[in-house]
Amino acid sequence: MKKNYVYVGAILMLAATLPLQSCIGSFSLTNKVLSWNNQVGSKFVNELVFFAFWILPVYEVTSVADLLILNSIEFWSGNNPVEASTKVIDTDQGRYYIACDGKGYDITAPNGDKVRLDFEADSQTWSVGVNDEETIPFMTMIDDSHVKMITPQGDFRAIPLSEQGVMAYSSMTQGTTLCMK
């Protein structure tokens, strides 16, 4: 009988380490529910909703959906279907539509012009394209404190991610427009 407890204990210990292993996928659905819960109200309301979602099995269902379906889609296609969304932003200049497909953003201006922002994870580079024309890289992440930004001359310069770096880049580009060719 004692041997069974040892085996069961060992199996439970191994099972407890599974969540600590590297997993494939971002668990976007579960994280969206958790982030929504953090915005519901005070910390006491958030805690009550948290417990209610465990009792109602909301978290269990979202975790299983992420684990079995959504993370597999993300692994094979490179896109997570939960990340895809469209937002509407009303401004003084009109209504902008921003569509996210998990790899980048399509921004539609009130006059119908479209801008595409893409992120290439391998090179850590953001690119921009206007009205379905060729895309041009404009920013590459170097490390946690520097990026390479395009200059008005079309070359790239390392900019520190600090207030001074932003001010220096702003003065470098003052009065110029980076044009798409």
Extended strands (E) in the chain: 85-91, 94-100, 104-108, 114-120, 125-130, 136-143, 146-150, 156-160
List the structure tokens of 145. Answer: 């404190």
Q: For residue range 121-162, what is the model confidence (pLDDT) as tens digits?
A: 889 888 888 766 788 888 888 988 888 988 888 889 898 888
Residue 103 pLDDT exceeds 70: yes
Q: What is the pTM of this model?
A: 0.51
Q: For residue range 83-96, what is the model confidence (pLDDT) as tens digits?
A: 767 778 888 888 88
Distance CA 80, CA 57 (A): 22
The secondary structure of 63-93 as a DSSP string is HHHIIIIIHHHHHHHS--TTT-EEEEEEETT
What does the domain layout of the chain look like in residue ranges?
20-77, 85-173
Residue 181 pLDDT exceeds 60: no
Q: For residue range 44-85, what is the model confidence (pLDDT) as tens digits?
A: 777 887 877 777 777 787 888 888 888 877 777 777 777 767
The residues that bridge with 139 in the sheet, in sequence order, are: 126, 149
Q: Give residue 19's pLDDT band: very low, low, confident or very high (50, 70, 90).
A: low
